[in-house]
Structure 1
Amino acid sequence: MAEQDWDSQTVIRKRGNVARVARTDSEINSARRAGVSIETQRKVTGNKADPGVHYQRIAKVDYADDVVPPPKLNNSVPQAIQSARQAKQMTQKELAQKINEKPTVIGEYETGKAIPNPKILGKLERALGVKLRGKDIGKPLFAKKDGK
């Protein structure tokens, strides 16, 4: 049987020499006095290959150029909505109640200021019986067929 040495210590996990980050001037000065090698690094956003360029400013300029205006209604859609509503002798408020929307939404669609929403346009088409999307805007939604 082997003899055991009860006086020796076994270190299982020993941290190696890990670089320490000194953030204050006093820590840096004390490291200089101790003779520790000091390395300074500058944090750069973006591509590290060209640290002289300020990438955040460039990104802001790029985003400013890519502003896309929201889609607008075709010019004939507001006229078709208004004429179909008046033909059915409805007010904007009555039409809004019929399609479960606010009267301001109907006003925006009739003035052409609204951003087109397919769901609302579909509701308006069914309530007014007029096509508001695609070709033949302003024509009846269900055209009568020539039959006997």
Structure 2
Amino acid sequence: MSDDWDTVTKIGSKTSGGSSQRETVVRGKGALNQAQRSGAIIGTEKKFATGNPANKSGSEGQRLTKVDRADDIIAPNKVPAEIGQNIRNRRSKEGPYKMTQAQLAQKVNAPAKDIQTLESGDAIKNQALLNKVARVLKISPKTGLPLDEK
């Protein structure tokens, strides 16, 4: 019976047994090299940033965080009117890119209403549609300016 008083049992301890080291996260190339030189067991795992890339200013993830935290209604991002005007100019100008809204919609596999709202500047930003239109009309998806005219 006296033996039971001398032993201690830890329940819920983060390190079981006390002899094994805790897992640590190494940040930086130098710390990784030092761990390799010391002979530690190393497991590497690549994490992909999807939400808020630091190198993109005005990213959609930051806007969604703002929408999530706000109590009032926040309007969605719209395509700038100048891009719609540039698309309309490129599409209606004489040459190889002259076509109607319906023909452009058929080429990008989208409803004609989407092309109409895109050109009017009322469209909610849809980067996939902008990229398709830009590819067909050979314009920049960011500015709407022609790529082949210098």
What TM-score results when the alignment is normalised by the length of structure 2?
0.48
Larger CA Rg, structure 1 vs 2: 1
What TM-score results when the alignment is normalised by the length of structure 1?
0.48
